[in-house]
Amino acid sequence: MKATQTLHDLGQSLWLDNITRDILDNGTLQGYINGLSVTGLTSNPTIFDQAIKKSSLYDQTIREKLGQGQSGEALFFELALQDLTRAADLFRPVHDETKGVDGWVSLEVSPRLAYDTKTTLASAKDLHARAARPNLFIKIPGTKEGLPAIEEAIFAGVSINVTLLFSREQYLAAAEAYLRGIERRIAAGLSTKVGSVASVFISRWDVAIASKVPEQLRDQLGIAIAKRTYKAYCDLWETPRWQNIVKAGYNPQRLLWASTGTKDPKASDILYIKALSAPNTVNTMPEGTLKAFADHGEVSGVMPKDGGDCEQVLAQFTKAGVDVDALAAQLQSEGAKSFDDSWTELLGVIASKSAQLQNA
C-alpha cells in the first residue's frame, strides 16, 4: 500500500497545492485522484503565474476574452474559474461521498484586498456565485481586516479557506470568525451547505530563523508551532460551541497544513508530511512533495492531541532569542506582501501575453 493511501486511511486529506491547465488536459490530476489518494486542491497567485507563463494552453481563452473587452484582473479570474471549476467537477464525487467534508478546490481573492474588509467580502461573494460549484472555497487571508469578511462570508453561505495563518492565536481568531458566522446561520435557520478550512503555514517558520538558531534546533520550529495549533484545534472540537454546530448539521471547519514542501536542502523532502500526520486535518502539498511521499514516505504515527513536546521545544527557541508572537505577525505581514508581489507579477504576465496575442 502506498504511503499516501495509508495517510488517507488515517483520516488526513491529501490535497495538491497546484493547478495548471496541462494537468487537467493530460489526465495527471485524475491520475493523482485515482492513484495517490488526492482528494482536493489549492491554488494561489504564484501557482497561476507559473501556469499561465509556461503554457500556451491559455492563449485561446485570452484571445476570446480580449475580444469581449476583458483584461487584467477580470481576465485572470475568467482563466482561473475555468481551471478550478473543471477541477471541482473532478473532485465532486469525493465531495458528495463525504457529504461536503472533502473534495474541495480553492480560489483566492485578490491579495491586494488583504487589508480591505468590505471589498474582500464583495469579491468573495462574486467569485463564489460565478463558480457555481458547491465544492469551491474562496480564500481570504486571516488578517485583522480579513476576519470580519470571513464571518460575513460564512454567514452569507460562501465557503471559505482562511489563508495566511501562522500561529495558534491567529488560528483561534480565524476559528472564532467562522464560529460566529455559523452561529448566525443557525439562528437564522439557514442551510448547512457551507464549509471552511483554516490554513496554517509551516515551513516559512523554519526558513525565517534558519541562520539565527543553533544547528540542533534546525527545522523544528514549524513543527512545534503545528503541534501547539493542533492541540488548540483538538481542544476546540470538545467545546459546547463546536458540538452545537455539529448537532445543527454543519461540518466543522478543519485545520489545514500549508507550506509543507521542505525548503532546507539538508532535510528530508517529506519532513513536514511525516511530522504532520493527524486525523481530521488536511495537508496540501506541492506536486514534487506528493510524489516523493508516494515514492518513499511512511506514516510512523500521529500528532499528539495534547501538543506533545511542543512547549518545551518552543521554550528552547525563546531561549535562543526567537520571539514567536512577533515572528508570527511578521510572517503574516510578509506573506500578504509576497502574495501581493506575486499578484503584480501575474497581472504583468497577463498583460504581456495579451499584448503578444493581440499583435499576432
User: Which residues are identified as catalytic?
Assistant: 139
What is the rounded CA–CA span in Å between residue 326 and residue 317?
13
Give rounded-to-5 percent helix, strand, coil for the chain: 60, 10, 30
CA atoms within 13 A on the CB side of 146: 29
133: left (phi over 0), alpha (psi -120 to 50) or beta: beta
Residue 261 burial class via C-beta count within 10 angstroms: exposed 0-12, middle 13-18, buried 19 and up: buried
CA distance 32 to 8: 13
> If DSSP codes are grouped into helix, strand and coil, which group holds residue 201?
strand
Paired residues of 16 in beta bridges: 41, 285
323: alpha, beta or left, given left = phi > 0 and alpha = psi -120 to 50? beta
Query: Rounded CA gap, 130 and 126, in Å?
Result: 6
